């Protein structure tokens, strides 16, 4: 039997009962379609988180006071409670080779009121002139905080786009006065929008000079974070190690047990992709169940077909078909059904993913990996669930098969 | 052509043994037209299944073209059926919802016959079986009984087999169509085909040149018909 004959026989067999074949294929279509859609949603989410974390700054190291306990993640760091990072630490860090820019920050949440009486509660960050270079932000309107404004503890503020919109709606905020924690500040600039990162919104901030923040608003002389931009990606771990040693010496603590922690972007990314990967696997597993149900549908149809076509199988054997010919024929039928289902399923899954993006704005990503996975899984299901019925057909005794009523 | 020596067939159902064939020996030469006759339960179908390489005997030897096929495996027997044997069944056994031509081509598919020559051979085969050319592209279930049996005969002929086994070929046909089908077999035999006909009806067996009668698994008569 030639391969082309096998295909032709398979085509005739499948098209002989279009309704039943169609319904069987539908099971696989739904299975493959949901696997593709779910994986694309999961991968889209992780891709979005990855790009927004990279958008926070390039080659970024973040130093925080207190200890980030392994296993407890970055959320429960002791930020705010510990006050171990000081302004003097900046000079120590600046002497490390490979450091490009340093952005010391002190952040608190305060109530902000606009002249029109609109108010909002936002994160106020005391920052220096290097902040835009480290954090990959740029000013859309007006200007950023300058060195002399830092030295003179100027009461000036740069608004994040979300805050600007909350306070001023569509009117121009530049030059207006706002009140942060009952202190007047002059708006000198508005940042460019970066978009949400899922877990926090980088647009919902107000930047003021660090000196102003420490002396006037917070009344504190410590820092909540120090962000370091490293010159090159491959210097990251070296700079991180040197910073640990240098700060430990400065703080007179054991470098094995420092009173601060340094997170690199890779650490944050690792923690978050772990979450999204788990999420993706969970979604795919749920979708995978429908794929298995679809496969059982194929097996059910093939079993029925074998029984229905018993006499035909007997005849084929009588005119010289071998066991292999018969089992290949039924196996090809099952694989063809799953392949058709797989192809339609991929289109359906891609459509669903686009639909999700279109209607909810959630990012989705259809990867080649998920398509290859879906196709090989559907072929595998065809073989696995078609094998038993095919063997059953091949083992039929021709005489009994011919007599079957 | 074919020769069986001391063939026995025993069926076991639980502890009960049924001897369907008891020590049967005979041979059939090239170009013969043999009718195997007997009432139902006589063992004639069992004999045909063994002769047609669909089943293996419990004991005894079977020589097909000089080769002892009694110990052949399922797949080796399938090869003999594919290359040397054509079957015509009482209930036609055509593929439903499939054209006449495709039904006749089916054995050629398993024989790996070149695709481009299949249709021509199938047409010739249908013509020698006496089917009207207008029917060639009809679906098999649109035909009358007589036409279906002609298609089945054409299918049996298409591989140019050494021998054709016909199991009650007129059993599902009225006597007039049955007579036409028998005429086709006589014609094929005249052209040199070896034909083995299994029947329980005496007048059908009269068409053959030689008649082997079986009862209770034993040959009771082996005579030449004088027409």
**B142 pLDDT band (50/70/90 cuts)?**
very high
Section B52-67 average pLDDT: 92
Mean pLDDT score of chain A: 87
pLDDT at residue A72 greater than cutoff 60: no
Section B147-174 average pLDDT: 93
pLDDT at residue A359 greater than cutoff 50: yes
Section B202-215 average pLDDT: 93
pLDDT for A263 equals 86
- Residues on chain B touching A12 (C-beta within 8 angstroms): 98, 102
CA distances (Å), A282 to each of A278, A286, A289, A311, B201, in order? 6, 6, 11, 46, 71
pLDDT for A135 equals 85
Match 């098209």 to its residue by tokens. A15
CA distances (Å), A343 to each of A288, A346, A377, A405, B57, in order? 16, 5, 12, 37, 50
Structure tokens at B74: 């399922």
pLDDT at residue A119 greater than cutoff 60: yes
Say how far apart CA A134 and CA A102 lie, in whole Å.
7
**A365 pLDDT band (50/70/90 cuts)?**
confident
What are the residue ranges spanned by the domains of chain B?
2-224
pLDDT at residue A333 greater than cutoff 70: yes
CB contact under 8 A, B78 and A16: no
Radius of gyration of chain A (CA): 32
pLDDT for A376 equals 85
pLDDT for A200 equals 66
Nearest CA in chain B to A395: B74
Supply the angle between the helices A323-360 and A368-394 in degrees, to the nearest 10: 150
pLDDT for B227 equals 66
Decide which of A287 and B10 is more confident: B10
CB contact under 8 A, B98 and A12: yes
Q: Which of A110, A78, A343, A364 is nearest to A222 (CA)?
A: A78
For residue A247, how many C-alpha atoms fall within 13 Å in the half-sphere facing its CB? 26
pLDDT digits (tens, 9 = 90+) for A122-138: 999 999 999 998 888 88
Q: Are strands B33-37 and B210-215 parallel, antiparallel or unpaired?
A: parallel
Structure tokens at A276: 């999204």
pLDDT at residue A325 greater than cutoff 80: yes
In three-state form (DSSP H/G/I as H, E/B as E, the rest C), the secondary structure along chain A is CCHHHHHHHHHHHHHHCHHHHHHHHHHHHHHHHHHHHHHHHHHHHHHHHHHHHHHCCCCEEEEEECCCCCCCCCCCCCECCECCCECHHHHHHHCCCCEEEEEEEEEEEEEEECCCCCEEEEEEEEECCCHHHHHCCCEEEECCCCHHHHHCCCCEEEECHHHHHHHHCCCCCCCCEEEECCEEEEEEEEECCCCCCCCCCCCCEEEEEHHHHHHHHHCCCECCEEEEEECCHHHHHHHHHHHHHHHHHHHCCCCCCCCEEEEEHHHHHHHHHHHHHHHHHHHHHHHHHHHHHHHHHHHHHHHHHHHHCHHHHHHHHHCCCCHHHHHHHHHHHHHHHHHHHHHHHHHHHHHHHHHHHHHHCCCCCCCHHHHHHHHHHHHHHHHHHHHHHHHHHHCCCHHHHHHCC
Tell me the CATH number for domain B2-224: 3.40.50.300
CB contact under 8 A, A320 and B81: yes
Supply the angle between the helices A323-360 and B74-84 in degrees, to the nearest 10: 100
Structure tokens at A306: 């074998």
pLDDT for B102 equals 93
pLDDT digits (tens, 9 = 90+) for B60-82: 999 999 899 988 998 999 999 99
pLDDT at residue A73 greater than cutoff 70: no
pLDDT digits (tens, 9 = 90+) for A244-284: 999 999 888 888 888 888 888 778 778 887 888 888 888 88
pLDDT digits (tens, 9 = 90+) for A193-229: 876 555 567 888 999 999 999 999 988 888 999 999 9
Say how far apart CA B57 and CA B38 lie, in whole Å.
19
Instruction: Using a pLDDT cut of 90, give the percent of chain B over it.
Output: 82
Section B90-110 average pLDDT: 92
pLDDT for B126 equals 95
Shortest CB distance from A325 goes to which of B83, B93, B110? B110
pLDDT at residue B89 greater than cutoff 90: yes
Match 């002249």 to its residue by tokens. A115
Distance (Å) from the alpha carbon of B196 to chain A's nearest alpha carbon: 16
Beta bridge partners of A53: none
Match 């209930």 to its residue by tokens. B91
pLDDT for A279 equals 85
Structure tokens at B12: 């076991």
Q: Which of A113, A89, A107 is nearest to A218 (CA)?
A: A107
Q: Which of A143, A162, A156 is nearest to A202 (CA)?
A: A162
pLDDT at residue A157 greater than cutoff 90: yes
The H or E element spanning position B33 is strand B33-37
Section A98-119 average pLDDT: 90
Section A37-43 average pLDDT: 87
**A67 pLDDT band (50/70/90 cuts)?**
low
Establish, for the pair of chains A and B, how many residue pairs have beta carbons separated by less than 8 Å: 65
pLDDT at residue A78 greater than cutoff 80: no
**A77 pLDDT band (50/70/90 cuts)?**
very low
Structure tokens at A269: 């990314």
**B184 pLDDT band (50/70/90 cuts)?**
very high
pLDDT at residue A76 greater than cutoff 50: no
pLDDT for A69 equals 55
pLDDT at residue A99 greater than cutoff 70: yes
Section A145-164 average pLDDT: 92
Structure tokens at B85: 């044997």
Chain A interface residues (partner B, CB cutoff 8 A): 1-2, 4-5, 9, 12, 16, 311-312, 314-325, 398-399, 402
- Residues on chain B touching A315 (C-beta within 8 angstroms): 89, 93, 95
pLDDT for B179 equals 92
Shortest CB distance from B82 goes to which of A5, A314, A320? A320
């Amino acid at each position: 039997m030639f391969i082309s004959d096998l295909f032709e026989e398979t085509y005739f067999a499948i098209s002989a009962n279009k309704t039943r074949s169609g319904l069987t294929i539908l099971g696989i279509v739904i299975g493959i379609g949901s696997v593709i859609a779910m994986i694309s949603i999961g991968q889209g989410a992780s891709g979005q988180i990855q790009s927004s974390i990279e958008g926070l700054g390039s080659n970024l190291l973040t130093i925080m006071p207190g200890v980030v306990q392994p296993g407890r993640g970055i959320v429960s760091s002791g930020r705010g409670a510990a006050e171990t990072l000081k302004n003097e630490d900046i000079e120590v860090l600046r002497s490390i080779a490979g450091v490009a820019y340093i952005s010391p920050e002190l952040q608190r949440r305060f109530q902000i009121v606009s002249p029109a009486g609109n108010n909002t509660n936002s994160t106020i960050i005391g920052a220096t002139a290097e902040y835009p270079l480290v954090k990959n932000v740029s000013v859309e309107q007006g200007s950023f905080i300058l060195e002399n404004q830092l030295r003179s503890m100027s009461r000036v503020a740069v608004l994040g786009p979300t805050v600007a919109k909350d306070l001023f709606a569509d009117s121009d905020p530049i030059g207006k006065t706002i009140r942060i924690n009952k202190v007047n500040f002059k708006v000198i600039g508005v940042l460019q929008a970066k978009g949400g990162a899922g877990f926090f919104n980088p647009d919902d901030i107000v930047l003021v000079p660090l000196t102003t923040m420490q002396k006037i608003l917070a009344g504190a002389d410590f820092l909540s974070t120090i962000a370091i931009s490293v010159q090159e990606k491959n210097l990251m771990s070296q700079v991180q190690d040197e910073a640990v040693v240098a700060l430990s010496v400065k703080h007179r603590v054991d470098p094995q047990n420092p009173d601060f922690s340094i997170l690199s972007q890779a650490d944050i990314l690792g923690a978050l992709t772990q979450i999204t990967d788990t999420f993706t696997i969970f979604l795919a597993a749920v979708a995978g169940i429908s794929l298995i149900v679809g496969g059982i549908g194929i097996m059910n149809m093939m079993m029925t077909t074998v029984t229905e076509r018993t006499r035909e199988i007997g005849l084929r054997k009588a005119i010289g078909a071998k066991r292999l010919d018969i089992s290949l024929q039924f196996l090809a039928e099952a694989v063809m059904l799953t392949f058709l289902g797989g192809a339609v399923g991929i289109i359906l899954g891609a459509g669903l993913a686009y639909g999700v993006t279109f209607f909810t704005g959630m990012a989705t990503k259809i990867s080649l990996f998920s398509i290859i996975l879906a196709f090989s899984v559907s072929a595998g299901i065809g073989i696995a669930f078609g094998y038993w019925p095919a063997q059953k057909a091949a083992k039929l005794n021709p005489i009994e098969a011919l007599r079957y009523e | 052509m074919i020769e069986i020596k001391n063939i026995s067939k025993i069926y076991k159902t639980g502890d009960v043994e049924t001897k369907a064939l008891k020590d049967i020996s005979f041979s059939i030469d090239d170009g013969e037209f043999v009718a195997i006759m007997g009432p139902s339960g006589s063992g004639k179908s069992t004999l045909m299944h063994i002769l047609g390489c669909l089943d293996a005997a419990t004991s005894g030897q079977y020589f097909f073209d000089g080769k002892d096929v009694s110990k052949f495996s399922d797949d080796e027997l399938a090869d003999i059926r594919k290359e040397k044997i054509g079957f015509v069944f009482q209930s036609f056994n055509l593929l439903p919802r499939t054209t006449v031509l495709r039904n006749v081509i089916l054995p050629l598919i398993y024989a790996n016959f070149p695709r481009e020559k299949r249709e021509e051979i199938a047409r010739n085969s249908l013509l020698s079986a006496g089917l009207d050319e207008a029917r060639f592209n009809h679906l098999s279930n649109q035909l009358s009984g007589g036409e279906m049996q002609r298609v089945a005969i054409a299918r049996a002929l298409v591989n140019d087999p050494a021998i054709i086994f016909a199991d009650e070929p007129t059993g599902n046909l009225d006597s007039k169509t049955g007579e036409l089908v028998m005429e086709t077999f006589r014609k094929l035999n005249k052209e040199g085909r070896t034909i083995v006909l299994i029947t329980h009806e005496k007048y059908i067996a009269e068409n053959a040149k030689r008649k082997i009668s079986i009862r209770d698994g034993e040959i009771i008569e082996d005579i030449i018909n004088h027409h």
